[in-house]
Amino acid sequence: MIEVKEAVTKKELTAFVKFPFQLYKNSKNWVPPIIADEVESFNKKTNPVFETADAFFYIAYKNNRAVGRLAAIVNWSEIKKQHIKKVRFGWWDVIDDIEVTRALLEKVEELGKKHHLEYIEGPMGFSNMDKVGVMIDGFDHMGTMVTWYNFPYYKEHLEQLGYIVEKEYNESEFYLDDVDPKFFKKGGELVQKRYGVRGLNFTKTKDVMPYVDQMFALFNRAYANLSSFVAITDAQIDFYKKKYISFINPEYIKFVVDKEDNIIAFGIVMPGFAQALQKAKGKLFPFGFIHLLKAKKQSKSAVFYLVGIHPEYQNKGITAVLFNEFYKIFSEKGVHHFIRTPELSDNAAARNMWKHFNPQVYVRRRTYKKEL
């Protein structure tokens, strides 16, 4: 018999977060989160995402043993402002038993019907700042700290239960050796001269902070036309500012500004933390933070987390300025391998932006939907 219980207390949410550690304990490619950090992100009193979203966290048990987990999510901004009547599910992990998946997804269906919503979509998080998509290809590659890893049968479970493909995402990688620095240097100089723009570089996190609010405002504007995009609120911006910006090398944050010092483009790159997180095993102490600090300073791999261009400057070569600045710092530090976070496969603008890097798709993902 399968029993599904809601995780409410800190102890229960910790069990929710720890379940994948059991499921993937023999996987060399799964990248664990920091347990305390993930539990805190589910704290409805401190995470401002819960001002505009409701979430319910479920653990499935069989013979008194945890066999699956799932979060059922309603993003009220999406429903009320965009009139997209869907219920989301995310943080889904399960043993290879379709009945466990069925029991968990029934909780999502119940939530959607309760609020008279039209369909389910997932896996996805609260907003566009969260992880997205179930892997359908690339299982032999290590995950990243900003993506979910899963076994091949996840896709089969969803399809057998009547879910159909909603969106497709690609993750790609490229190497610095495949990039022609002369192209970006020459292009960047031409663009700077033509539009009067310039790159901003940083060596201290405190110097980045005054620009962060403006950067997120540009993020909301630059991504507004993408399907399923939900703008992040001022409270969420403050939360992400405190949680993430100090975690990133200031040298890996680049802005392009116009003559009035308004940000017209930004790029945020994160050091490759995947192997360090595996060594940390979900804990910062006693030694986990040492692995992370070492990776922050020494990793030769990096993840292009966010890149945004002001709509008025798109297709004007602004990325040449941005990427020229990145090339200089990564050449200096000997960083040679780069990963791009999941991008919608039909996002032609993104494909065009990266065409000079010879990117190779190595992981594919999907979100699935089901009508209610």
Contact in structure between 255 and 263 (CB atoms under 8 Å): yes
CATH superfamily for 174-363 is: Gcn5-related N-acetyltransferase (GNAT) (3.40.630.30)
The series of mean pLDDT values per 10 residues for the chain, 372 residues long, is 97 98 97 97 94 97 97 96 95 98 98 98 92 97 96 98 97 94 91 95 94 93 80 88 85 96 95 96 94 95 95 92 95 96 89 89 98 98
pLDDT for 228: 67
pLDDT for 252: 97
pLDDT for 227: 67
β-pairing verdict for 263-271 and 253-257: antiparallel
From the CB of residue 316, how many other CB atoms can be counted at a distance below 10 Å?
16
- Which pTM was predicted? 0.95
pLDDT for 247: 79
CATH topology of domain 2-171: Aminopeptidase (3.40.630)
pLDDT for 231: 84
Residue 163 CB partners (closer than 8 Å, separation 6+):
120, 368, 369, 370
pLDDT for 230: 81
Of 77, 83, 87, 92, give the one whose Cα is nearest residue 110. 87
Distance between CA atoms of residues 148 and 137, nearest Å: 13
Residue 123 CB partners (closer than 8 Å, separation 6+):
89, 90, 91, 92, 131, 132, 133, 134, 148, 367
Contact in structure between 81 and 336 (CB atoms under 8 Å): no
Q: Where are the domains of the chain?
A: 2-171, 174-363
β-pairing verdict for 86-94 and 65-75: antiparallel
Residue 316 CB partners (closer than 8 Å, separation 6+):
191, 195
pLDDT for 245: 85
Distance between CA atoms of residues 15 and 128, nearest Å: 25
